[in-house]
Amino acid sequence: MSNTFGKLFSITTWGESHGGGVGVVVDGCPPR
Domain residues of the chain, as ranges? Answer: 1-27
2 band by pLDDT with thresholds 50, 70 and 90: low
- Cβ contacts of residue 19 below 8 Å, gap of 6+? none
Give yes or no for residue 32 having a pLDDT over 80: no
Burial (CB < 10 A; 0-12, 13-18, 19+), residue 12, is: middle
How far is Cα 20 from Cα 22, in angstroms, rounded to an integer?
A: 6
Q: Which residues make Cβ contacts (< 8 Å) with residue 15, sequence separation at least 6?
A: 1, 21, 22, 23
Instruction: Tell me the pTM.
Output: 0.47
